[in-house]
Every structure is written in structure tokens, then in C-alpha cells.
């Protein structure tokens, strides 16, 4: 993706906090992708990469023929230009028969979904039928709680075949079908991402599998649009501790990116972040930092240096340094994360206040039109990410042996604004007062006015109960 004109996306030492400057600047210089910034590479040279792409069809052809002589579970070695992770994972198992309302159309949905399953049963095991039935019930319940309750009615028109139609009706039917499938992709992806940020990784798996299933139907099996679904599946697997399966999903995503020269930085930065999380979970902190540095670079190029999209890379990099007991660098990066979210939430509160004022001033005699204000509403996934990140930073600040009350108050202020935007006014007031009391003890009290103003906004809401 080409950076937006006029936007400064250069990462310099001055853009980072304190002890993080020398290290992160050096890592980010190494993370700059040479010649072809869209290419995801690990240790292969650029020449090796080009040679790999040239010979890729031949290598894949040989691998395809080798499949006929290998057991289904035997791994095929990856091409030399890929990362050191398996490239072709075991084919995705299908989702179990789903819990849907009774009826012929609902049974059609269940039959359509029956080819997706989370399990494989050994037919030679005499106890397999009973245990399989028990697992089916568990998987059905998990799928229903995770996502199927939300998309059950949407699946009926998508999975039900219609009688023969005229060419015009068929064209209209296909257009409507694609729109419904894209809506299901967005819904399942956002639901899976929210579960991941909430720490409910097992619930994220069925939603992510549905996202992959419908993405494949709409875009094809080799489209770059499948990358987000593979990333969601990988992060969910990392959360449940299945690092091998996470590696498989990321290998699939990487293979698609390598074959897509026009792949945007928005997809690539998420792929690097997931690799960083995978290596961090495996204890390979050097590789984790390498990928997280690439994540920050690409996210800053696509969305801006101080964007919330880039903040996740800083947060996970800080966690890696925290695990290495490099607290000076970790604290600097946590401060960067807090600043990004604090700035974003201040703008969001100002925008919401402006909308309330315009709606209050609108005359009842004027036409009923929507207030034309650019409102950057947070998605459910962003809300869950903000809650997870800010609460994690607050927990670290409060438990640190060396207290930094100003930084702690800044995190509390950001959380108070976040809960105010969610209209959780009692919690927003409680956290805001905690930040206010903490700042009153400091010699410099510039932030007191901003927090006091937020408390007045909370008080002005009619539903506020302290």
C-alpha cells in the first residue's frame, strides 16, 4: 500500500520513548523491506527469493506428485525461500453439524455445514461412535455459543438451493448471495477477533473457520482475502497452546502473500504480528522482535505512525522485553502504547461531544436529517483490544516495584474515556476519580483539568449512577 500523501511515516529515534530508542531504531532499520516492500521474507536473500519464485511452479508440481506416495499426515518439506515452518498443513477439517431450528431449510444448512468438523474419528476404535457422538454435541454447543447463533438465519438463504431461474433472476440471485456471504465474512471475522482480544480463544475458532469457509467461497482458495481468516485461526491456536497448528495456518497465509505482489501493507503487518506472537509463545524472542518490528513498520506505513493499528506491535514488543526483564525498554514502549490510545480516545470523546451538541441544537421544525459529523466509531474488535491493552498496561504499572504515578494516571484517564464512550458511566466515573486523586498528589498537575472536564461530562449524563 502506498503511504497517504503528506503523511510522515518515517520511524525515527525521536518517535520512540526513552530507552526504547536505540534498540527499536536499529531493529526497525533492519525491518525495512528492500526492493520489494510487499515481500514477506525471513532469512533468504533477495536473489534467492526471486529464484524461488521462478522455480515455484516446478517445486509445487513435484510436491503435488509426491502427495500421491505419502501418508495423509506426513509433512512435505517447504520450499527453501519460505520461513522455517511447515508450508502445507493438514487440510482443514470441517465444522460439525450445527444447532439450527428444525425444518427442511434448516436441515439443508446443517447438511451444508456437515463437511466442516474439528475432529477425526478412528474407525477401528470400537468406542469411536459413542465418543464421537459426545464430541459432536460438545462441538455443536461450542459452535452455537461462538458464532452460529448470530449467523443461523443468514445461512438459510445462502445454503438453500432455489429452482431454475431466468438469466436475469439468476444474476440478481448471485449478486445478493455474494453480498450476504461478504456480510457473514465481516461478522464472523469481527466476532473471532473480539473473542481473541477477550482471551476466549476456543470460542474464536468456530467463528474464524466460518470466516475462512465463506472467504474461500467468495474469493477463491488462493486469494489474498483469505489471509485475515488464516491469521485469526493462527492467533486462536496460539491462545489455546496449539503452536504447530498455528504455524500451519500462518504458512498458508505466507504462501498466499508470496504469490500476491500487490498484497497491501495492511495484510502484511498483521501476518508479521502473528508470526511475532508465535515465536514469542515458543520462546524465540529474537525472531519475535524481528517480526514485531516489521509489523510496526508496515502498520505505520499503512495507517500512520501514531495509529491504533500500529500500537499493537509496540504492545507485543513491550511484552517480549518484559519477559526478557529489560524493564527500561518495556516501560518506554508501554508509554508509547498509552500515548497512542490516549490521543485516539481524546479525539473520540471530542467527536462524541460535538455530535451531542449538534443534535441538541437541531430545531424540531427542520427536516429530520442525520447530523453530518465525521464520527470514527470503534468496532467491537477495537473496543475489546483497547480494554485488553489498557488494562494490561495498568496492571503492570500498579504492580511495578518502581511506581510511576504520572504514567499510571495517564492509563487511568484513557480507561475512563474508554468506558465513557461505552456508556459504562459508573465505571468511567470510578476510574476517573482514581486518576484525579492520583494526580492531585503530584507537583505538576497539568492533566487535572482534562480529567476534571471528563468527570463533568460523566456527571451531565442522565443515566450516571455513582
d(CA 466, CA 453): 16
Write down all domains in the chain, each with its CATH number in brackets. Answer: 72-119+134-263 (no CATH), 337-360+376-460 (1.25.40)
d(CA 205, CA 93): 12
Per-residue confidence (pLDDT) for residue 93, from 0 to 100: 36
Among the residue ranges 40-49, 172-181, 191-200, the one predicted with the least confidence is: 40-49
Q: What percent of the chain has pLDDT over 90?
A: 44
- The answer, yes or no, to whether residue 112 has pLDDT greater than 80, is no
Per-residue confidence (pLDDT) for residue 129, from 0 to 100: 45
Residue located via cell numbers 511515516: 9
Return the C-alpha cell found at 110: 446443517
d(CA 245, CA 239): 11
- The answer, yes or no, to whether residue 177 has pLDDT greater than 90, is no
- Mind giving me the DSSP string for 266-308? HHHHHHHHHHHHHHHHTT-HHHHHHHHHHHHHHHHHHH-TT-H
Q: How many CB atoms lie within 10 A of CB 174?
A: 11
The pLDDT tens digits for 264-312 are: 999 999 999 999 999 999 999 999 999 999 999 999 999 999 999 999 9
Q: How many CB atoms lie within 10 A of CB 457?
A: 19
Binning pLDDT at 50, 70 and 90, where does residue 465 land? low
239 vs 137, residue with greater confidence: 239
What average pLDDT does the segment 8-30 reach?
A: 50
d(CA 249, CA 220): 17
Judge contact between 92 and 233, C-beta under 8 A: no
Among the residue ranges 47-56, 116-125, 440-449, the one predicted with the least confidence is: 116-125
- The answer, yes or no, to whether residue 3 has pLDDT greater than 50, is no
Per-residue confidence (pLDDT) for residue 444, from 0 to 100: 75
> Sign of the C-alpha dihedral, residues 256, 262, 267, 269?
positive
Q: How many CB atoms lie within 10 A of CB 302?
A: 21
Judge contact between 421 and 378, C-beta under 8 A: yes
Task: Provide the β-strand partners of residue 95.
Answer: 116
Judge contact between 453 and 415, C-beta under 8 A: no
Among the residue ranges 13-27, 37-51, 160-174, 287-301, the one predicted with the least confidence is: 37-51
d(CA 51, CA 67): 24
Per-residue confidence (pLDDT) for residue 148, from 0 to 100: 59
Per-residue confidence (pLDDT) for residue 151, from 0 to 100: 62
From the list 92, 85, 21, 29, the residue with the least C-alpha distance to 279 is 85
- Side-chain half-sphere CA neighbours of 269 within 13 A: 23
From the list 270, 222, 265, 227, the residue with the least C-alpha distance to 249 is 227
Return the C-alpha cell found at 417: 474515556
pTM of the model: 0.68
7 vs 110, residue with greater confidence: 7
- The CA distances from residue 75 to 85, 88, 118, in Å, are 11, 7, 20
Binning pLDDT at 50, 70 and 90, where does residue 359 land? confident
Return the C-alpha cell found at 143: 459452535
The pLDDT tens digits for 364-405 are: 555 544 544 444 578 888 899 999 999 999 999 999 988 899
Per-residue confidence (pLDDT) for residue 123, from 0 to 100: 35
The pLDDT tens digits for 113-159 are: 333 333 333 333 444 444 444 445 444 554 545 565 666 656 656 66
Amino acid at each position: 500500500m502506498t503511504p497517504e500523501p503528506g503523511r510522515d511515516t518515517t520511524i525515527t529515534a525521536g518517535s520512540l520513548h526513552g530507552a526504547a530508542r536505540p534498540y527499536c531504531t536499529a531493529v526497525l532499520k533492519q525491518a525495512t523491506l528492500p526492493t520489494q516492500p510487499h515481500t514477506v521474507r525471513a532469512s533468504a536473500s533477495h536473489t534467492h527469493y526471486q529464484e524461488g519464485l521462478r522455480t515455484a511452479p516446478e517445486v509445487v508440481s513435484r510436491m503435488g506428485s509426491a502427495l500421491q506416495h505419502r501418508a495423509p499426515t506426513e509433512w512435505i518439506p517447504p520450499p527453501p525461500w519460505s520461513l522455517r515452518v511447515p508450508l502445507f498443513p493438514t487440510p482443514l477439517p470441517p465444522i460439525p453439524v450445527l444447532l439450527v431450528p428444525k425444518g427442511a431449510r434448516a436441515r439443508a444448512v446443517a447438511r451444508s455445514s456437515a463437511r466442516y468438523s474439528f475432529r477425526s474419528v478412528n474407525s477401528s476404535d470400537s468406542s469411536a461412535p459413542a465418543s464421537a457422538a459426545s464430541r459432536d454435541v460438545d462441538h455443536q454447543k461450542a459452535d452455537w455459543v461462538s458464532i452460529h447463533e448470530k449467523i443461523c438465519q443468514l445461512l438459510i438463504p445462502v445454503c438453500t438451493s432455489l429452482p431454475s431461474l431466468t438469466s436475469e433472476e439468476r444474476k440478481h440471485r448471485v449478486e445478493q448471495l455474494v453480498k450476504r456471504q461478504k456480510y457473514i465474512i465481516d461478522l464472523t471475522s469481527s466476532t473471532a477477533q473480539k473473542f481473541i482480544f477477550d482471551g476466549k480463544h476456543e470460542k474464536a475458532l468456530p467463528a474464524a473457520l466460518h470466516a475462512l469457509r465463506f472467504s474461500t467461497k467468495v474469493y477463491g482458495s488462493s486469494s489474498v482475502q483469505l489471509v485475515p481468516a488464516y491469521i485469526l485461526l493462527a492467533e486462536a491456536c496460539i491462545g489455546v497452546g496449539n503452536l504447530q497448528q498455528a504455524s500451519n495456518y500462518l504458512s498458508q497465509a505466507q504462501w498466499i502473500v508470496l504469490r500476491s505482489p500487490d498484497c497491501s501493507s495492511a495484510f502484511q503487518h498483521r501476518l508479521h504480528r502473528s508470526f511475532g506472537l508465535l515465536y514469542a509463545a515458543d520462546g524465540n524472542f529474537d525472531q519475535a522482535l524481528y517480526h514485531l518490528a516489521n509489523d510496526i513498520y508496515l502498520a505505520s506505513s499503512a495507517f500512520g505512525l501514531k495509529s491504533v493499528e500500529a500500537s499493537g506491535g509496540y504492545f507485543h514488543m513491550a511484552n517480549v522485553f518484559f519477559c526478557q526483564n529489560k524493564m527500561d525498554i518495556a516501560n518506554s514502549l508501554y508509554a508509547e502504547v498509552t500515548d497512542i490510545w490516549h490521543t485516539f480516545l481524546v479525539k473520540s470523546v471530542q467527536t462524541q461531544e460535538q455530535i451531542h451538541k449538534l443534535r441538541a441544537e437541531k430545531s424540531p421544525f427542520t427536516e429530520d436529517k442525520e447530523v453530518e459529523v465525521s464520527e470514527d466509531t470503534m468496532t467491537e474488535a477495537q473496543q475489546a483490544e483497547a480494554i485488553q491493552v489498557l488494562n494490561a498496561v495498568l496492571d503492570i504499572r500498579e504492580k511495578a516495584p518502581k511506581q510511576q504515578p504520572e504514567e499510571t494516571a495517564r492509563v487511568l484517564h484513557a480507561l475512563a474515556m474508554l468506558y465513557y464512550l461505552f456508556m459504562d458511566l459508573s465505571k468511567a466515573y470510578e476510574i476517573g476519580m482514581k486518576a484525579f486523586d492520583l494526580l492531585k498528589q503530584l507537583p505538576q498537575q497539568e492533566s487535572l483539568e482534562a480529567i476534571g472536564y471528563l468527570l463533568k461530562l460523566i456527571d451531565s449524563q442522565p443515566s450516571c449512577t455513582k
